[in-house]
Amino acid sequence: MGFDSMEKTLERIAKANDGYPPYNIERIHGDGTAGSPERLRITLAVAGFSEDDLDVTTEENQLVIRGRQIETGERDYLHRGIAARQFQRTFVLADGMQVLGAELRNGLLSVDLVRPEPVKMVKKINISVPE
């Protein structure tokens, strides 16, 4: 997932997953004056999951988000429409993409990604002159 091939990557991701949990991917434009770079934000709807139920990792060039809820046998449901469903979402990251952080708020897990600007290196090459 990168800024240049966004549409192709999104199509590949949509075909590979079953749709749970639903998610958004948005581009957040950088603020040129403050120096913050343009970034991507992946937001997953994870209602009912706590911070301890979620795991966000990077494995090689993939962002992997897992959710596991532990069933408690203490409740006697008359109707159960909200299942304690486990999930794993995988997003393929483009070369150089880095995860800035993750935040869980109001049942939404947001993961911010950035592609840092390449550092321009100038290297002085000595010229040798045979005597």
pLDDT tens string 85-108: 899 999 999 888 899 999 999 999
In the chain, the domains with their CATH numbers are 17-71+80-115 (2.60.40.790)
Instruction: Sort residue 78 into left (φ over 0), alpha (ψ -120 to 50) or beta.
Output: alpha
**At residue 12, does pLDDT exceed 80?**
no
In the numeric block, which tokens belong to residue 26? 């948005």
Task: Identify the three-state secondary structure at position 42.
Answer: strand
pTM above 0.75, yes or no: no
pLDDT tens string 13-50: 555 556 889 999 999 887 765 567 788 999 999 988 99
